[in-house]
Structure 1
């Protein structure tokens, strides 16, 4: 998938048990996140640390989760099974579930939410996942559904993008009324929210697990500057915050956990239009950029090792395949070859307005403009405009993300298959399509490994984009906070958090 997917953690283990003893109930914790949501509608949020994972998991909880090894853990749901290898499924919910407004959380509510996610008028980033679901039949707490193609590990899709279920009655009301009083079945309910200020979440007494959440209150603030977020935690202004420079945060006495997703931040080439409709232009740029030099501009004095593989380090899915390496001579040869044919490489890089994003594209521009027969411009757009270019596929080179995760089949299919609406680059290749479908439906580990290794080989050959760094955002927390647990595709539980008294 482009822009967000995976499991596990780097740095400290996000699921680790410390020596603080059994969880203590009560108290309040403050976490500083990167930004606040524009809306509290679960269809308009994403389950990612960098965006809305804290808010969504607090208000809506999880149907299910995936641990670092890909094993399913159940929350509001109690089972998910397939009868035919990935096309026909049954989701069973726990009995007696209630939304915070007292209405039942049943299979009909799940159907309503999933159908809404797939509706183009809603504009959800989860639409590619929800669009695979067909023929939903609810009966009490059981939802029978089919997929438009076999997906052997559909639990990964649910954990990532179909996990948050809100009250249908509340969603049928106005957007303003829902934002004022969002209705879910998560561990917390909204106490108060001052736009551009703190969001105060209060313990939900009707949560399905009566022993949790442990906290009485969770306060969320926002700061887009990673250095300031870390400084806030260090100074005691927050119990935890999202950090980019893990090594520095650990030196300053924080515990750090971050997802181990493979892939990473991704400069996506638009192969639908010049100059990147020619694979040689894509290969030239990928070889021309010293990715480690780019990283050094982002984290002076920090680690600067660019990813060498599509999948997470050590994954058997990598095989002998590697990403294109920095090679100035090879890049210049390709630039010259294209110019000799009358097609010099000229393009614009589009960036989101974050400090790190601007510095990244400017560093890439500076390197590329040192070559002959290539000319690069940069445009920095606000979030809505950048998202618009992404959705409309009107960019030439844009910042995004590709995260295979622990069960990479669906993420890779949605991000790379020629018929997928989530295929940001627009690369079309029959061999790649075949390998993606094989990996999606594979039931045995050997078959999966063979398919995903072939995807990795073709990714390097076709160069739909340039992965320049792994997912770097993590949660840094001080010793008084406990119960940090990441799950799935950069999601985070909040019902397990507690503070020492």
Structure 2
């Protein structure tokens, strides 16, 4: 584990909480999620598109990858059985149609697109699908095992059909197959590369892997064997790793890159002001919040145990801590008003979110009453672990100040992002700032994150009132029934308060106005299959 820096952040002057309002010096105009797909200008053939990524992806192996930036690169070179469209609806991609499901929900039959080749020229068929799915679900190094845990068997019906046998009905399966668990890899490349497949990955996609320089760039070339190659106009994609958000924006303005991903909210306004640039938004499926260790004594996948901190021992103090927070002011102060404040992990526009789920506003008087009634001497000590980037430290400052008014004394520990995840998984924290990039099916935002012994359940929550409705919802097929069950689980989770949700983060994509045909959806993954330079 990497060393941590321990500090108490300076108290933020209260006057700053009002910054970021409207007008020439205030909040940027929030771009619409539809802006990218509304750009239907004709594009010419040829050219290289340079794209700035905000981090270096992990291994380009769909079985082991865990990063959002990795998913961005996969979107151009590793197609999946299913995908989402501009309305976040599940649609076939390498599959020929949505799956056929048996009455008991335990047999799922998938017809495959015909005439498809991998980017090494070999045939895509049911045997190839079986090989990839088996690797995803059984390989000991695979991070997809939990995604496909309901699958007990993969069978080849004929060259264009696979059948998945499930141990239990699992409605979210199609959504899982619209992410890395549904990416199909070339059997030939798997045999050649083995565990090192990610060094030279081969899938089906509009672009094929060219080269990678660690920490610098990833180059993809137009794939001549792609089944829809005629609509692919660009010759090459170059993903450049530019971690610093100000440098990323500067490179976009200078023309060194034509697209920049995940613009910091502090740079959006400056990019919008440039007459040669535009900003579009995506994302919104995920969330960010403060996880409170309530029972993660020895690790998130282990049996919960007692945690000896004031917040862990008292649901009333956790309620007071949350009531001391003003989500709207956090959004304005830290994010220029460009995120979506919320207290639940499902987006407000999700069809699976019940209208009964409502957020309480800041109530400092009640927070103080709860603190006083607890009998714990004030100020109540809280240690908060946060990634060491400037934005997270800014968020920590605001939380520190707001909760101080209610009687808490928050000490902030900063660490590298990966270290905060290690500490979260191991249970070596009091509270930690972290988030989730989000999935189109609500199960992907819940099962592994707030149910008992889930690998990402850093809080250590374990409550039948949360577990049972989520499990029932995964087996249900009617959206209304699933929404009702998720409402039960989330109401109970809101009472336990293992996670204090703060907002749904949007992703902002900066582009040169010469670039057209980019697709940017609610998953925050830029798609360049139809992109190019305007003719």
Q: Work out whether the TM-score is over 0.5.
A: yes
Partner of 1:430: 464
2:50–2:257 Cα contact (<8 Å) kept: yes
Partner of 1:255: 279
Partner of 1:148: 167
Q: Which runs of 5+ in 2 are unaligned?
A: 1-29, 296-306
Aligned CA distance change for structure 1 residues 112 and 382 (closer, same or farther; 3 Å)? farther
Listed as ranges, the matches of 1:409-424 within 5 Å are 409-418=443-452, 420-424=454-458
Partner of 1:25: 45
Q: 1:446 aligns with which of 480, 498, 504?
A: 480
Q: How far apart are residue 205 of structure 1 and its match?
A: 0.6
Deviation readout 1:277-312 (Å, 9 max, x if unpaired): 53223222212223344334434x555763255533
Partner of 1:471: 505
Partner SS, residue 143 of structure 1? strand
* Partner Cα separation in structure 1 for residue 94 and residue 522 of structure 2: 16
Partner SS, residue 230 of structure 2? coil
Q: Over alpha carbons, which structure has the higher Rg? A: 2
Aligned CA distance change for structure 1 residues 212 and 88 (closer, same or farther; 3 Å)? same
* Partner Cα separation in structure 1 for residue 59 and residue 349 of structure 2: 39
Deviation readout 1:235-270 (Å, 9 max, x if unpaired): 322211122325554344413121232x52121222
2:338–2:506 Cα contact (<8 Å) kept: no
Q: 1:271 aligns with which of 289, 294, 301?
A: 294
Q: Please state if 1:109 is matched with 2:128.
A: yes
Aligned CA distance change for structure 1 residues 406 and 169 (closer, same or farther; 3 Å)? closer
Partner of 1:388: 422
Q: Please state if 1:354 is matched with 2:374.
A: no
Aligned CA distance change for structure 1 residues 149 and 326 (closer, same or farther; 3 Å)? farther
Q: Please state if 1:330 is matched with 2:366.
A: yes
Partner of 1:42: 62
Q: How far apart are residue 370 of structure 1 and its match?
A: 4.8
Q: How far apart are residue 89 of structure 1 and its match?
A: 0.8
Aligned CA distance change for structure 1 residues 389 and 353 (closer, same or farther; 3 Å)? same
Q: Which runs of 5+ in 1 are unaligned?
A: 1-8
* Partner Cα separation in structure 2 for residue 488 and residue 441 of structure 1: 25
Partner of 1:306: 341
1:268–1:397 Cα contact (<8 Å) kept: yes
1:202–1:217 Cα contact (<8 Å) kept: yes
1:63–1:75 Cα contact (<8 Å) kept: yes
Partner SS, residue 254 of structure 1? strand
Q: TM (normalized to structure 2)?
A: 0.81
Name whichever of 448-457 and 460-469 sits farther off: 448-457
* Partner Cα separation in structure 2 for residue 270 and residue 110 of structure 1: 40
Name whichever of 456-465 and 174-183 sits farther off: 174-183
Q: How far apart are residue 37 of structure 1 and its match?
A: 1.5
Q: How far apart are residue 30 of structure 1 and its match?
A: 1.2
Q: How far apart are residue 409 of structure 1 and its match?
A: 3.5
Deviation readout 1:178-215 (Å, 9 max, x if unpaired): 45422222221222322222322110111122314221
Q: TM (normalized to structure 1)?
A: 0.86
* Partner Cα separation in structure 2 for residue 420 and residue 259 of structure 1: 24
Q: 2:211 aligns with which of 164, 187, 192?
A: 192
Name whichever of 216-225 and 164-173 sits farther off: 164-173
* Partner Cα separation in structure 2 for residue 291 and residue 144 of structure 1: 46
Partner of 2:495: 461
Listed as ranges, the matches of 1:110-125 within 5 Å are 110-119=129-138, 121-122=140-141, 124=143
1:292–1:304 Cα contact (<8 Å) kept: no
Partner SS, residue 190 of structure 1? strand
1:485–1:492 Cα contact (<8 Å) kept: yes
How many residue pairs are counted as aligned between the two chains?
Answer: 485
Aligned CA distance change for structure 1 residues 330 and 187 (closer, same or farther; 3 Å)? same
* Partner Cα separation in structure 2 for residue 472 and residue 271 of structure 1: 29
Name whichever of 200-209 and 330-339 sits farther off: 330-339
Q: How far apart are residue 404 of structure 1 and its match?
A: 6.0
2:193–2:200 Cα contact (<8 Å) kept: no
Partner SS, residue 356 of structure 1? helix
Q: How far apart are residue 40 of structure 1 and its match?
A: 1.8
Partner SS, residue 30 of structure 1? strand
Aligned CA distance change for structure 1 residues 138 and 314 (closer, same or farther; 3 Å)? closer
Partner of 1:6: none
Q: Please state if 1:90 is matched with 2:115.
A: no
Q: Tell which has more relative contact order, 1 or 2 (C-alpha 8 A, sep 6+).
A: 1
* Partner Cα separation in structure 1 for residue 192 and residue 256 of structure 2: 37
Partner SS, residue 413 of structure 2? strand
RMSD (Å) for aligned C-alpha atoms = 3.0
Aligned CA distance change for structure 1 residues 74 and 47 (closer, same or farther; 3 Å)? farther
Deviation readout 1:479-500 (Å, 9 max, x if unpaired): 2111222346333322122212
Name whichever of 173-182 and 236-245 sits farther off: 173-182
2:33–2:522 Cα contact (<8 Å) kept: no
Partner of 1:4: none
Partner SS, residue 130 of structure 1? coil
